[in-house]
Amino acid sequence: MKNRPFGERIRFALCGVKEAWQRENSFRTQGVVAILVVVGLLALRIPLTWSAIVILAAALVLAMELTNAALEAMIDRLHPERHADIRAAKDMAAGSVFLASIAAVVVGLLMLFSLYSIW
Instruction: Tell me which residues are annotated as active site.
Output: 65
Report how far apart, in Å, the C-alpha atoms of 66 and of each of 45, 60, 93, 95 are.
29, 10, 10, 13
Work out whether the CA dihedral 29, 33, 39, 42 comes out positive or negative. Answer: negative
Angle between helices 84-116 and 48-78 in degrees, nearest 10: 170
